[in-house]
Amino acid sequence: MTVHFPFQNTYAALPANFFARVAPTPVASPRLIKLNRPLALHLGLDPDLLDSPEGAEILSGKRLPDGAEPIAMAYAGHQFGHFVPQLGDGRAILLGEVIDRDGVRRDIQLKGSGPTPFSRRGDGRAALGPVLREYIVSEAMFALGIPTTRSLAAVMSGESVIRETMLPGAVLTRVAASHIRVGTFQYFAAREDTDAVRRLADHVIERHYPRLADHARRYHALLEAVIGRQADLIARWLHIGFIHGVMNTDNTSISGETIDYGPCAFLDHYDPGQVFSSIDEMGRYAYANQPRIALWNLTRLAECLLPLFSDDQEKAIAQAQEILGVFPEKFTAAYQAGLRAKIGLFTTRDGDEALVQDLLKAMAEGKADFTLTFRRLGDAALDAANDGKVRALFADPAAFDEWAARWRKRIADEPQSPAERQAAMHAVNPAFIPRNHRIEAVITAAVANDTAPFEELIKVLAKPFEDRSEFAEYANPPKPEERVCQTFCGT
Ligand code: AMP
Ligand code: MG
């Protein structure tokens, strides 16, 4: 039996300047190291058939499944603030689209599948480490309830890639609501191809925002909708301590999913200025800068849409500014609501924002672990006898005591029982996140041919909100000697 992909492609039917038709370059000897079976089922694929030598060939690009129309998508982008008029999929190839069990159209893309007309310098390949990192973090984000691209499979290519050293090569199969980015709009806007911008906007509306199709000002409504999804997404990132690392406009998805996991990382101790990425020397994409950068990226999207707003450019700019003006409110509302939930508040009161901010301030000053502080605070909500576990996380435990007294007074005004409050807090404050030192350890083992630690980490992160005693050590922050201070793109 051959593997059947129920492709129903739409992007490949767009005008020829939207992409380059290019087939994956076969790899030497593909070996499947991970298949995401639940995701395969969700996409209408047969996991048993995929889990085979033929499946490994397909998931590495060595064999094309029937119905695939392989393309490399064109896009541009601002990288660290500098505009590059042509980037495009330089090492990724979209095989096609399928409709998942929820009726949502999903791209199936191979990453690391060989050069394309858009590869300028690189070899079109990916190393095992970054492939596993993306697999781990994207699936962890999914389990955390955050919009994200997903990972269907990781395949070893049987070839080496040359980076700073020789590394084992691999291919990731990425699944996304779409791979359309702010940079996709920029590609056509930079060429003053307004017809293409309109065509792309119509495609995006149909695919991601179908309710806007009959809107009187559909392109204005589109901008507003994308802003809404990005505001919500970035708030969610901050709630779990996620740092994307490379928030370039080409890494900003129009559908509102987290996309392009490169040097991303999670906070251990809370530090709003934290930067991990080795290429982010100016701290442009630091943890707390992410909302500001999202707005900057959305402003670049708005610029692309101006010709669709009005023939009168000044009018169009005024309209765009008005729409962009809603971002801070939308972001702040989502951010504050999430923070209230993190400290177990069921109601909203004056002073709540200050209460949360004072905790964050104490956490920053006390270098308290971000994830553990909130998780253990849930246990403290159940029983004040658990306070000790929280205060132990602070360099100056007295700072926590002072805050905890105010917090107890505030929650005492709400009717919920301690058990109810703990349950609500544990449902939003994960016990397990993909900690950087764990990811590094897993990659090191996998490069040395041991994928058991990878498998175990995937298992832990699949249920991030459940305390599981057998995995207790995975909740721990790194020991000083394990701490990861920098992450690398390592493409
Ligand atoms: P990224 O850093 O993955 O967001 O990629 C930025 C740009 O560089 C995109 O146009 C990629 O397709 C391209 N790129 C990254 N790595 C490679 C590679 N190994 N070979 C060819 N192009 C690459
Ligand atoms: Mg990218």
Give, as one character, the DSSP assignment of residue 67.
T
Same domain, 107 and 233: no
CB neighbours of residue 329 within 10 Å: 10
pLDDT computed for residue 121 by the predictor: 87
Token pair of 32 as six digits: 């499947």
Ligand 1 centroid – CA 193 distance (Å): 24
Q: Whose CA is nearest to atom 22 of ligand 1?
A: 90
In a domain, 470, yes or no: no
In a domain, 397, yes or no: no
- Overall average pLDDT of the 4-23 stretch: 98
Ligand 2 centroid – CA 408 distance (Å): 45
Q: Whose CA is nearest to atom 8 of ligand 1?
A: 90
Same domain, 154 and 263: no
Token pair of 58 as six digits: 């397909």
Task: Report pLDDT digits (tens) over 458-484.
Answer: 999 999 999 999 999 999 999 989 998
Q: Whose CA is nearest to atom 12 of ligand 1?
A: 90
Same domain, 163 and 18: yes
Out of 176, 193, 222, a domain closes at: 176
In a domain, 292, yes or no: yes
3-state helix, strand, coil in the chain (%, to 5): 50, 15, 40
pLDDT computed for residue 491 by the predictor: 58
Same domain, 162 and 195: no
pLDDT computed for residue 490 by the predictor: 59
Q: Which residues line ligand 1 (CB under 6 A)?
A: 87-91, 118-119, 122-125, 251, 260, 262, 489, 491
Ligand 1 centroid – CA 435 distance (Å): 25
Q: How many domains does the chain have?
A: 2
Task: Report pLDDT digits (tens) over 289-313.
Answer: 999 999 999 999 999 999 999 999 9
- pLDDT beyond 80 at 489: no
Which structural domain, as residue segments, surrounds residue 238?
182-336
- State the catalytic residues: 250
Output the pTM of the full model.
0.98
Same domain, 161 and 214: no
To test the pocket of ligand 1, the residue of 86, 119, 264 to mutate (highest count of ligand atoms within 8 Å of its CB) is 119
Cα(251)–Cα(249) distance, integer angstroms = 5
The overall average pLDDT reported for the chain is 97
Task: Report pLDDT digits (tens) over 122-178.
Answer: 999 999 999 999 999 999 999 999 999 999 999 999 999 999 999 999 999 999 999
Task: Report pLDDT digits (tens) over 228-257.
Answer: 999 999 999 999 999 999 999 999 999 999
pLDDT computed for residue 127 by the predictor: 97
Same domain, 98 and 210: no
In a domain, 362, yes or no: no
Same domain, 171 and 187: no
Give, as one character, the DSSP assignment of residue 220.
H
In a domain, 129, yes or no: yes
Same domain, 188 and 168: no
Dmax over CA atoms of the chain, in Å, equals 66
Out of 336, 359, 389, a domain closes at: 336
In a domain, 119, yes or no: yes
Cα(181)–Cα(77) distance, integer angstroms = 9
To test the pocket of ligand 1, the residue of 19, 161, 487, 491 to mutate (highest count of ligand atoms within 8 Å of its CB) is 491
In a domain, 314, yes or no: yes
Task: Report pLDDT digits (tens) over 365-413.
Answer: 999 999 999 999 999 999 999 999 999 999 999 999 999 999 999 999 9
At 49, the pLDDT band (50, 70, 90 cuts) reads very high
